[in-house]
Structure 1
Amino acid sequence: MKRAHRTAHARIWRVLGLLLPLAFFAILALRQTPPAGRPAVLIEAPAGGTRAEVPQ
């Protein structure tokens, strides 16, 4: 009886050890959505000169 219990226990933990991280990462991958309602902002160099001017 003890041997069967240990074997079942080891199998259950192996399955959980594999499935839980896979499920976690799958949920994270499916949950990511692009930002809605925000326009894209282009990042570019300042128009004049090499120094960025601070608006006052």
Structure 2
Amino acid sequence: MKRAHRKAHARIWTVLGLLLPLAFFAILAMRQSPPTDRPAVLIEAPVESSGEASQ
């Protein structure tokens, strides 16, 4: 009984040790990369107008 349990345990961890990294890298490979053809958008602070900000 113990020997069969050890063999099953070793096989399960071996399979998990191989499949988990493969699944991780497959997910990384399937991710969409951001589009590079769009221009960058500058984020700037709002410009204060002289009439509205002085009140």
TM score, norm. by length of structure 1 = 0.61
Q: Highest relative contact order (Cα 8 Å, sep 6+), 1 or 2? A: 1
- In the alignment of these two chains, the number of paired residues is 40
In angstroms, what is the RMSD of aligned CA positions? 2.2
Structure 2 unaligned segments of length 5 or more: list them. Answer: 40-55
> Which aligned runs of 4 or more in structure 1 are off by greater than 6 angstroms?
none
Gaps of 5+ in 1: 40-56
| Structure with more helix by fraction | 2
